[in-house]
């Protein structure tokens, strides 16, 4: 797409170049905007400026490189450059869970707004994309109008992002919906200009007030988490009744009112979003005096965490009652396939627990080994699936990378000590593994 210069938005900045910000910046450059990405981490900025991604995301590196080559995309560590550059500024910094609390740590969002806001001396729109507790945007809008040198000419909007890691590029190019929390027609017009291409392609654009936009994000994640925990609760019932949760999920998913998405039973949800978002939502509801309305999320969280314990139990059962001294092979430690993200990874949690229980655990993951080794140096790491399971008494599939789905039970069977497998993601064909002599276990499946 050619460079743009027709509307009110020509130059855009993206503050925070993690999974969200980097994809957004590269896509905006592809849309023809001049884009300046900013991050406090100079190593990240230097890598991105060379066209090297500091994390794994399929399809993103070519988009990044083409942005750099077009001359429309660059990166900096300087707030002053950002403030001078942009007609519109997207805030994409992280909002992790506060240690020792359910609440979100908003220090990056507040720090970013403060540093940027005080430097803004011309009209612009500051747009929050980070996931924040409802009510945050109104506080930030008030603060911005006070600290920005251009005063009320610097407005705040909230435009939550719904992309999934591993599918971030497709989700950014063709989002299901665009939600824009705005307080003026001018802000809405600017955001419509930014998203002109997906809107023209049919993506619904919903203009809302600020709190509704913030809620649109956390409510969506709460709903997805609830669906996942619902099917995992059914898996517990299936185990008690000798029913098959994968067939049950299929049967439920055909009902259009229910839908098959986010209904895959297994080890449950992890990552940098769903777990911390439902906790921050509960904490916010308590502050607002509506904690009862969200008390079900406590159960959603509890069901999810029980999955991890149950997988360890299944491995222990296959190891004849104790993991102490057992050799265990683990396939997958990323929180989901096609990602190197290990934040709150159920798989890594299970691997670390088995190690604590005395097992010798060797792990392989196609993308997340470097990150896993950094946080869990006590585990052993292998360079391939075959190496990870060599001599294993029990093998566990904990992240359903395609490579593991395609694994040959005969080939793996040739190197393990015992043909015992726990399929933590219901990703394998139980019959063919059993036919190859494996003892197969999965959550919510009969045996
Ligand atoms: C999630 C949401 O899906 C995005 O819409 C949202 O933008 C993002 O969080 C965010 O807040 O930034 P993501 O965490 O990348 O995206 O991944 P999901 O595909 O939702 O998976 C989350 C976890 O749930 C993974 O651990 C996955 O393995 C697990 N999961 C997912 C299941 O156990 N069963 C399912 O059926 C689906």
Residue nearest to atom 37 of ligand 1 (CA): 262
Residue nearest to atom 27 of ligand 1 (CA): 269
295-331 confidence digits (pLDDT tens): 999 999 999 999 999 999 999 999 999 999 999 999 9
The three-state secondary structure class of 444 is coil
Q: Is the CB of 262 under 6 A from ligand 1?
A: yes
75-138-164-255 Cα dihedral, nearest 10 degrees:
-160
- Average pLDDT of the chain? 96
pLDDT exceeds cutoff 80 at 7 = no
Q: Is the CB of 336 under 6 A from ligand 1?
A: yes
At 151 the pLDDT is 76
Q: Is the CB of 228 under 6 A from ligand 1?
A: yes
Dist. CA 21–CA 342, nearest whole Å: 18
Q: Is the CB of 249 under 6 A from ligand 1?
A: no
29: confidence class by pLDDT, cuts 50, 70, 90: very high
Ligand 1 center to 380 CA (angstroms): 27
In 201-295, alpha helices (H): 210-241, 245-253, 274-288
At 32 the pLDDT is 97
Please tell me which residue, 396 or 153, carries the higher pLDDT value: 396
pLDDT exceeds cutoff 80 at 5 = no
Kindly report the pTM of this predicted structure. Answer: 0.96
Burial of 192 (0-12, 13-18, 19+ CB in 10 A): middle
Q: Is the CB of 205 under 6 A from ligand 1?
A: no
Sheet of strand 178-181, all strands in order from the earlier edge strand to the far edge: 73-76, 34-38, 11-15, 88-91, 124-128, 154-158, 178-181, 205-208
Q: Is 273 a catalytic residue?
A: yes
Task: Out of 56, 263, 274, give the residue to mutate to test ligand 1, the one with the largest number of ligand atoms within 8 Å of its CB.
Answer: 274
Of 172, 184, 196, give the one whose Cα is nearest residue 125: 184
Please identify, by atom number, the ligand 1 atom nearest to the C-alpha of residue 335: 26
Q: Are 401 and 426 in contact (CB under 8 A)?
A: no
pLDDT exceeds cutoff 80 at 3 = no
Q: Are 102 and 280 in contact (CB under 8 A)?
A: yes
Q: Is the CB of 162 under 6 A from ligand 1?
A: yes
At 152 the pLDDT is 75
CB neighbourhood size of 197 (10 A)? 15
Return the biggest CA–CA distance within the chain. Answer: 72
Please tell me which residue, 4 or 7, carries the higher pLDDT value: 7
Please identify, by atom number, the ligand 1 atom nearest to the C-alpha of residue 337: 28
Query: How much of the chain exceeds pLDDT 90, in percent?
Result: 96
Please identify, by atom number, the ligand 1 atom nearest to the C-alpha of residue 20: 12
Q: Are 51 and 64 in contact (CB under 8 A)?
A: yes
131-136-142-143 Cα dihedral, nearest 10 degrees:
-70
Task: Out of 265, 272, 273, 426, give the residue to mutate to test ligand 1, the one with the largest number of ligand atoms within 8 Å of its CB.
Answer: 273
Q: Is the CB of 164 under 6 A from ligand 1?
A: yes
Please identify, by atom number, the ligand 1 atom nearest to the C-alpha of residue 425: 33
The three-state secondary structure class of 94 is coil
9: confidence class by pLDDT, cuts 50, 70, 90: confident
Q: Is the CB of 271 under 6 A from ligand 1?
A: yes
Q: Is the CB of 268 under 6 A from ligand 1?
A: yes
Ligand 1 center to 277 CA (angstroms): 11
Ligand 1 center to 194 CA (angstroms): 26
Dist. CA 97–CA 99, nearest whole Å: 6
Residue nearest to atom 18 of ligand 1 (CA): 164
150: confidence class by pLDDT, cuts 50, 70, 90: confident
190-247 confidence digits (pLDDT tens): 999 999 999 999 999 999 999 999 999 999 999 999 999 999 999 999 999 999 999 9
- Which of 92, 124, 273, 320 is flagged as catalytic? 273
Tell me the average pLDDT across 272-278.
97
56-108 confidence digits (pLDDT tens): 999 999 999 999 999 999 999 999 999 999 999 999 999 999 999 999 999 99
Ligand 1 center to 237 CA (angstroms): 23
Q: Are 198 and 232 in contact (CB under 8 A)?
A: no
1: confidence class by pLDDT, cuts 50, 70, 90: low
Please tell me which residue, 405 or 8, carries the higher pLDDT value: 405
| CA 58 remoteness from chain centre | 14
Q: Is the CB of 227 under 6 A from ligand 1?
A: no
Ligand 1 center to 268 CA (angstroms): 10
| Angle, alpha carbons 19-25-28 (nearest 5°) | 135
Residue nearest to atom 21 of ligand 1 (CA): 269
346-389 confidence digits (pLDDT tens): 999 999 999 999 999 999 999 999 999 999 999 999 999 999 99
Q: Is the CB of 266 under 6 A from ligand 1?
A: yes
At 263 the pLDDT is 98
């Amino acid at each position: 797409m050619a460079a743009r210069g027709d509307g009110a938005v020509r130059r855009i900045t993206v503050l925070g170049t993690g999974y969200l910000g980097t994809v957004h910046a590269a896509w905006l450059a592809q849309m023809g905007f001049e884009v300046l990405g900013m991050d406090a981490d100079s190593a990240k900025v230097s890598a991105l400026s060379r066209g090297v991604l500091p994390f794994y995301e399929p399809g993103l590196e070519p988009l990044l490189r083409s942005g750099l080559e077009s001359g429309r995309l660059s990166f900096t560590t300087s707030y002053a450059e950002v403030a001078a550059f942009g007609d519109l500024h997207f805030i994409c910094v992280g909002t992790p869970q506060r240690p020792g609390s359910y609440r979100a740590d908003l220090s990056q969002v507040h720090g970013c707004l403060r540093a940027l806001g005080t430097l803004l001396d011309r009209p612009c729109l500051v747009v929050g994309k980070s996931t924040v507790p409802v009510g945050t945007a109104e506080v930030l809008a008030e603060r911005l109008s006070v600290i920005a040198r251009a005063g009320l000419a610097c407005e705040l909007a909230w435009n939550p992002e719904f992309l999934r890691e591993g599918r971030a590029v497709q989700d950014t190019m063709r989002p299901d919906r665009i939600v824009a929390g705005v307080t003026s027609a001018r802000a809405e017009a600017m955001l419509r200009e930014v998203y002109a291409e997906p809107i023209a392609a049919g993506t619904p654009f919903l203009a809302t007030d600020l709190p509704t936009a913030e809620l649109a994000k956390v409510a969506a994640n709460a709903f997805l988490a609830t669906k996942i925990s619902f099917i995992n609760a059914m898996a517990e019932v299936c185990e008690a009744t000798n029913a098959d949760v994968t067939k049950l999920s299929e049967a439920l998913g055909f009902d259009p009112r229910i839908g098959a998405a986010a209904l895959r039973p297994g080890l449950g949800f992890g990552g940098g979003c769903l777990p911390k978002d439902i906790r921050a939502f509960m904490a916010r509801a308590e502050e607002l005096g509506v904690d009862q309305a969200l008390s079900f999320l406590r159960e959603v969280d509890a069901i999810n965490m029980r999955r991890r314990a149950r997988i360890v139990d299944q491995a222990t059962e296959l190891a004849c009652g104790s993991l102490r001294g057992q050799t265990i092979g683990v396939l997958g430690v990323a929180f989901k396939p096609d990602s190197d993200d290990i934040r709150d990874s159920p798989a890594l949690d299970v691997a670390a627990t088995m190690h604590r229980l005395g097992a010798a655990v060797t792990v392989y993951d196609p993308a997340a080994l470097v990150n896993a080794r950094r946080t869990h140096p006590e585990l052993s790491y292998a360079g391939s699936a075959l190496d990870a399971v060599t001599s294993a008494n029990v093998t566990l599939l904990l992240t359903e990378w395609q490579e593991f789905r395609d694994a040959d039970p005969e080939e793996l069977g040739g190197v393990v000590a015992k043909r015992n497998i726990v399929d933590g993601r219901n990703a394998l064909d139980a019959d063919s593994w059993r036919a190859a002599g494996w003892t197969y276990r999965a959550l919510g499946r009969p045996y």
